[in-house]
Structure 1
Amino acid sequence: MRVGERRDTDVTHEDQRPPAAVLFDALGPDYEKAFAHAPAHLSALEWLIERLPSAARTLDVGSGTGRPTAAALVGAGHSVLGVDISPVMVELAVRQVPEAEFHCVDIRELPLEADSFDGVCVFFSLLQMARAEQSALMRRLTLALRPGGHLVLATVPVDAEDVEFVFMGQPVRATSFAEEDFVGMVEAAGLTVLDRNSSLFTPDHPTAEPEPHLFLHCRRDETGS
């Protein structure tokens, strides 16, 4: 049987795609419109940019449409590797931030060299991973940071495991940690949490309600981990 041929007993291509890809392909530019102006997100970017060396190498995990994260980093003179599982998002990012490099790949499957990035951004990119996967990825991202490098990340801090709900009109399943447990997971990965920002944010979308956001500003210590 040739690749791409389908039998009646096969699942559909849509069923085979990762849930995060299905979700964000459907959302496309609506996600940027809903979230790109979030004050805590912009503040975290400013915090990171202030601490990056000149012409830093940065990684944007779950890079979406490229805005605001990759665009802000490029605008500050840094190189950006953006990674997203959604082909639609990657296509938008390539068009909107051509100075950055974007790859359509699952970050869990992307090889990461040790000590290779000065800064890492992980904005709401963990929520469709199991808790063990989130912990494992944070350890890998910490090791990918150069000692002394900085990482900013955000999540929805709720004690929820594989919970189904509707997000911007799309069905989704998500997993997260309560705030202190999330901080503990990040610290166990080898990062020092220098600051945290907890807030309520209402996305710019007709169905949106206020949702809790937690932003962590972190550093990999000079001694490594």
Structure 2
Amino acid sequence: MPGRLHGTTRGDRVDEDERRAPAAEVFDALGAAYEEAFAASEPHRASLRWLLERLAPGSRVLDVGSGTGRPTAQTLTEAGHRVLGVDVSPVMVELAGRQVPEAAFRLADIRELALEGDSFDAVCGYFSLLQMSRAEQAAVVAKLARAVRPGGLVVLATVPLDVEGVEALFMGQPVRVTSFSAGAFTELVAGAGLSVLAEEQTVFTPAHPEAVPEPHLFLHCRRDAG
């Protein structure tokens, strides 16, 4: 979900509510419209098929930025996997819980959430880094790599642009976006101890009157042993 976990503040005082509010407000406002806008993304569904082909039955999967629960959590639970979804938006968590009751969803900021090492068979993070700083993105990717068992799978998707702190509109909502070029993001992922097994670059236009074409990068990775 582009822009889900923004870490800017209002005013000089920094506290947890202020850090979470901008992203939560954006995706609380979008709600089910986000799912409708991205429902036609075939590369996202192809990425999920790639993951399903490699997961053992009953795998434990973490879905970071789980949104409405569809398509990621729903696809995985329908295949018999155990899914924990994490999102910073209360509206999204409530929607996901209703739409995908077979999964568990938690209202939390992945930057702050404690994750036990080697505790998941796979981790998904579809467009959930874009409102973090570059340092935060690097730290979160490293955290997710540690959370998956050695040999486990990590699937990440982002908008590969060399931008930092750029003000933009996303489906009519003001956001501040930070990202990496495709090469720089791939280097970041490799530096976290992940081997990139496959990648897909595409351009997708969300089904929304205020949307514009977006470059998308999908990385399909395995945590290195040792």
TM over 0.5: yes
Structure 1 counterpart of 2:31, one-letter code: G
Give matches, 1:38-117, under 5 Å.
38-117=41-120
Q: CA deviation at 1:16?
A: 6.5
Tell me, yes or no, if structure 1 residue 122 matches structure 2 residue 128. Answer: no
- Residue matched to 1:170: 173
Residues 141-160 of structure 1: matches in 2 within 5 Å? 141-160=144-163
**Using a 3 Å threshold, how does the CA distance of structure 1 residues 59 and 28 change in structure 2: closer, same or farther?**
same
- Shift of residue 36, structure 1, vs aligned partner: 2.5
How far apart, in 2, do the equivalents of 1:36 and 1:76 lie? Answer: 19
Counterpart for residue 139 of structure 2? 136
1:208 counterpart = 2:189: no
SS of residue paired to 2:165: strand
Report the residue type matching 1:197 in the other structure: E
Is 32-41 or 78-87 further displaced after alignment?
A: 32-41
Rounded to whole Å, the distance in 1 between the matches of 2:19 and 2:160 is: 29
What is the CA-CA distance between 1:20 and the residue it aligns to?
1.1
Structure 1 runs of 4+ off > 2 angstroms?
Answer: 14-18
Q: 1:52 to 1:75 in 2, by over 3 A?
A: same
C-alpha distance in structure 2 between counterparts of 1:126 and 1:16, whole Å: 14
SS at match of 2:189: helix
Structure 1: 5+ residue runs without aligned partners?
A: 1-9
Query: What's the offset of the Cα at 1:117?
Result: 0.4
CA RMSD of aligned residues (A): 1.7
State how far apart, in whole Å, the 2-side matches of 1:18 and 1:189 are. 28
- Please tell me whether Structure 1 or Structure 2 has the larger radius of gyration of its CA atoms: 1
Q: 1:129 to 1:188 in 2, by over 3 A?
A: same
1:22 deviation in Å? Answer: 1.0
Structure 1 match to 2:26: 23
Tell me the CA shift for residue 189 of structure 1: 0.6
Letter in 1 for 2:177: A
TM-score by length of structure 1 reads: 0.91
CA shift digits 1:20-62 (9 cap, x unpaired): 1111001000000001220110011010111111100000000
Q: Tell me how far apart the structure 2 counterparts of residues 125 and 156 of structure 1 sit (CA, whole Å).
A: 10
Aligned equivalents of 2:127, 2:115: Cα separation in 1: 20
Residue identity matched to 2:201: S
Number of aligned residues: 213
- 8 Å CA contact retained: 2:20, 2:88: no
Separation (CA, whole Å) in 2 of partners of 1:174 and 1:128: 5
TM-score (norm 2): 0.91
Q: Give the 3 Å change call, closer, same or farther, for CA 56–210 of structure 1 in structure 2.
A: same
Distance 2:213 2:181 in 1: 17
Contact 2:65 2:126 in 1 (8 A): yes
SS at match of 1:58: strand
